Amino acid sequence: MNNIYIDNAEKVLLHTYNRYKIVLEKGEGVYLYDSEGKKYLDFAAGIAVSALGYSNNDYKDALKNQVDTLLHTSNLFYNKPIVKAGEYFAKYSGMDRVFYTNSGTEAIEGALKSARKYSYAKYGNNRYEIVAMNHSFHGRSMGALSVTGNVHYREPFDPLIGGVKFADYNNFESVKSAITDKTCAVILETVQGEGGILPADKEFLCKLREFCSQNDILLILDEIQCGMGRCGSMFAYQNYNIKPDIMTSAKALGCGVPVGAFAMTEQVAEFSLAPGDHGTTYGGNPFVGAAVAAVFEQYEKLNLTAYVRELSDYITQRLDEVVKKFENVIMRRGMGLMQGLVLSEDTPVSKVVEKAMDKGLIVISAGQNVLRIVPPLIITKENVDEMIEILKTCL
């Protein structure tokens, strides 16, 4: 049966993904089931999206109720759910103003436009350069690609937007040397995802925050994957006791409903986007507003960030055991429930991923040689043990 769906998909869908030969049909808790009934322990969460797992009744009821009430109005009018979602976002992010988008890459586009408008309003059109990080990933639209630090992704679509320079992540002097009197913003992931699950060093990020503040350069933090509780605080930058000027969110923000956001401080908003500068037809409609509000309410009900902090110690301990046991596992790195195992060159990560799926475990890769572990945030110690045992047989 799976083959019929797969064959039909290859006939009608644009081939932009090399999909695994699995047709997923339903989910329950932290498990997924394919169309033939096979059960999979999910440690990928739809690429860090399904933080609440699958079939959370309160979340589903909120979506059903909104479907019965009102789906869409356009941003020519106010709607109650998006105001509620905005209040939650401000409360947990420390930002003052938020704009809801349809995706993470759109959130990056909005963040870049916001930074350039801020600089234009204050300094004219001579301050427009953006410094981004090597090995970063911010999305696949033209602006997001322009600040993605991987030539492989950018090259087929050159020329992209100009005025972008790249520096080395976790190297303050490299970033500082890339900054000129034309620089308006620095953008980076608080924890690099596609670049190999690499957290920012605290000294690096704090020095960068201070330098940007001193020079009125905006610090943009991409929290699309590492945010929404995954690293033990609602947003990963809160682990560093700093605050960005602009930040982006998506993935677990909607827990499956397509929604992203970019947010900024009041000081930035005062000189940034004004009516006519930016817009979206669908972004922030009543349906996604209800979804975002329901997600934050479940985080509160489940005390999810505290739970992630508690479970983080256990999963890192178990993964460190794997590193010690297997010579082909070089190291573990990550933060909270965003973890990566760096594999040796003679151990293709794609083969480990395939073997794991054969044995009923879904994990994915990051970069060339990193096994990415980003499960639903509701996993238990027993789920971690189950994952470890399967992983050992694959390695």
334: tokens are 């990550």
Q: Which residue has the tokens 């096994």?
A: 371
DSSP 166-196: EE-TT-HHHHHHH--TTEEEEEEESEESTTT
Domain ranges within the chain, ordered by starting residue: 2-55+304-394, 70-302
| pLDDT, one tens digit for every residue, the chain (395 residues) | 568 889 899 999 999 898 999 999 999 999 999 999 999 999 999 999 999 999 999 999 999 999 999 999 999 999 999 999 999 999 999 999 999 999 999 999 999 999 999 999 999 999 999 999 999 999 999 999 999 999 999 999 999 999 999 999 999 999 999 999 999 999 999 999 999 999 999 999 999 999 999 999 999 999 999 999 999 999 999 999 999 999 999 999 999 999 999 999 999 999 999 999 999 999 999 999 999 999 999 999 999 999 999 999 999 999 999 999 999 999 999 999 999 999 999 999 999 999 999 999 999 999 889 999 999 999 999 999 999 999 999 99
- Kindly report the CA angle at 67 between 23 and 226, in degrees rounded to 5? 55
Residue partners of 284: CB distance under 8 A and separation at least 6: 75, 79, 82, 85, 99, 100
267: tokens are 């000081």
DSSP 28-51: EBTEEEETT--EEEESSHHHHT-T
Nearest to 142 by CA among 116, 117, 108: 108
Give the predicted TM-score (pTM) of the model: 0.97
Superfamily the domain 2-55+304-394 falls into? Aspartate Aminotransferase, domain 1 (3.90.1150.10)
- Cα separation, 234 vs 257, whole angstroms: 19
Residues 24-43 have pLDDT tens digits of 999 999 999 999 999 999 99
Nearest to 57 by CA among 297, 263, 269: 297
- Cα separation, 379 vs 50, whole angstroms: 11
Q: β-pairing, 364-366 with 361-362? A: unpaired
At the second CATH level, the architecture of 70-302 is 3-Layer(aba) Sandwich (3.40)
Q: Which residue has the tokens 């046991």?
A: 325
CA distances (Å), origin 11, targets 1, 14, 35, 260, 330: 16, 8, 19, 30, 41
- Cα separation, 230 vs 374, whole angstroms: 8
Task: Give the three-state DSSP class for 344.
Answer: coil
CA distances (Å), origin 160, targets 114, 148, 194: 18, 11, 20
Nearest to 371 by CA among 379, 362, 363: 363
Residues 218-245 have pLDDT tens digits of 999 999 999 999 999 999 999 999 999 9
